[in-house]
Amino acid sequence: MPPDSRSIYNVNVGVLGHVDSGKTSLVAALSQRLSTAALDKHPQSKQRGITLDLGFSSLSVPTPPHLQGLGCAEVQFTLVDCPGHASLIRTILGGAHIIDMMLLVVDVTKGIQAQTAECLVVGEIAIQHMVVVLNKVDLLPAESRGKLVSKARKRLAQTFAATKFAGCPMLAVSSLPGEGEEAVEEQLAYFNSIVNQLLLLVPPEPRSVEGSFLFAIDHCFAIKGQGTVLTGTVLKGKASVNDTIELAGLRLKKKIKSMQMFKQPVQQCQQGDRAGICVTQLDPDALERGLACAPGSLPSFSAAVAAVEKVRFYAAPIHSKAKLHITVGHTTVMAETQFFGLPHGSKAAEPDQAAALQAAGQRVERLAQAGSGEAFDLSQDYLHQDQLHGLEGRPCAEASSREAGAAPSSSPQQRLHFGPQWALLRFEQPVTAPQDTLVIGSRFDGDASGASCRQAFYGRLVHLLDTGDPQQLQQLRIFKLKQRRGIVERISPDKQSAVCRGMFKKDTDISLFSNLKVECCGGQTGTIEGAFGKAGKFKVAFPNGLKGAADKMQEITLKFKRFMHDPDKHHMVQ
């Protein structure tokens, strides 16, 4: 009799590492059961000896005592063999959202290589737990093997110390067996150590099955006389045979005819399970990857707001209006970015550096976990940022210096704040995904074989938009802080008004600035009354009087907000 679906608790383990580090050999040695997409079935993979797509296989072990609370007889590890070649990083990013923990495979004879580092970045963004496998120890001289492995561990520990994986377990193995009974026993001990370490990382509480069904499809094929099988991972909720599901990208509804988990028929699948779902009357060529969901539960959108953080290994600046490759689930599309954050003075942007840095660290951890994001507040005013800042903080004010009469800050040390940041993403084509989905922004237009990190930022979708509806964009209260400076040219005898110049050009319509407040360097405030002549001069009223002589040429400053999505481009707010 096949095991009941709930007698097995599934854990998805991503196997990542540099090309030719031995990932696929390790997975082949560990696996007991292979799925339809396992172990380099792609013809080019066999010819070239590298993995070109995600491969899935599994192994099962009896549930240990510390995991009895899961209520399952066995723990199944689904091994997701990820490609290691630099040009295939999109495939890894597409698979990251289905992975619970990762095995980072390192060739012990070479150490950290370019794609090892890139996989480490993906792990920091999307995965909570990591085990490092030092592979190919059989290539080290037997007489100095222990010493060389110890050195490799120390070097890697120094690398991981600056990441969230500091102190992670590191196991030395050889995925290819040697000759003789002793070598086979040694390899068995290697694999037992990996499995035991993975078991220690499995959370002891069962997964939640709440929420609408969501299924990430990674493979699609036809079975003659049966229908089309969609293989993938349940991201949320549960589904049973005879339930109706929707293929989100195609907007087709299909009834589940049957269901399997690693060739064993089951009646139900739930969050975390790796399953094959059979439906009828579907052309497998119409859908290779995508999402299946409960009917009507998944939105499509052309723009979105994401709570984001800069990847700290990304060295180049990331400017607003830049176009990046945005990975949302299995989909990667181009999008234009606009970054913004809380203005200085907001509670979450207070300049207490110690507390702010601690809050920023907690925010970074939350972004890596689904369901932990905060609601986006449409009533809040947000400050436009010319670029995305990292944990080094960002200026308290980003006043535009492009306005006439504006001058750069003379402060020798500009204050910083560490509040949250967001990105408005305008996609070049519609995207279908749930809110709270992990997003990763990358630059794939650079040299794939280079050593520099290509992942620029990551975050979670917090608000979905339709760019075809201008009112939705107008709800985003993102402003630029503008500043103009001028000088007092002449003060009236009663010092209740003054004629000023230097703030506006000759052809500026000064009536647009009427009733806006200005401030003198002495702290006195006045109100712009209107133009004085036609040379760009203007009159300012000072109800409380203006101190100082006219020949001192006092400087006056006009500060205001201009909301970027306001249809009235002349609207200014103070």
Whole-number Cα distances in Å, 244 to 250, 272, 290, 316: 15, 20, 17, 47
- In this model, does residue 36 exceed pLDDT 50? no
C-alpha–C-alpha distance, residues 532 and 495, integer Å: 17
23-30 vs 181-201: helix crossing angle, rounded to 10: 90
**Positive or negative: CA dihedral 176, 55, 39, 82:** negative
For residue 142, give the DSSP letter.
G
C-alpha–C-alpha distance, residues 431 and 438, integer Å: 13
> How confident is the model over 212-264, as pLDDT tens digits?
999 999 889 999 999 999 999 999 999 999 999 999 878 899 999 999 987 88
Mention every residue, 6+ apart, whose C-beta is less than 8 A from residue 15: 23, 26, 27, 79, 80, 81, 82, 102, 103, 105
Domains of the chain: 5-201 (3.40.50.300), 214-293 (2.40.30.10), 300-476 (2.40.30.10), 480-563 (2.40.10.190)
**DSSP string over 205-255:** SPPP--SS-EEEEEEEEEETTTEEEEEEEEEESEEETT-EEEETTTTEEEE
> How confident is the model over 392-442, as pLDDT tens digits?
777 765 444 444 444 444 444 556 777 899 999 999 999 999 888 899 999
Q: Which residue has the higher pLDDT, 60 or 394?
A: 60
- In this model, does residue 376 exceed pLDDT 90? yes
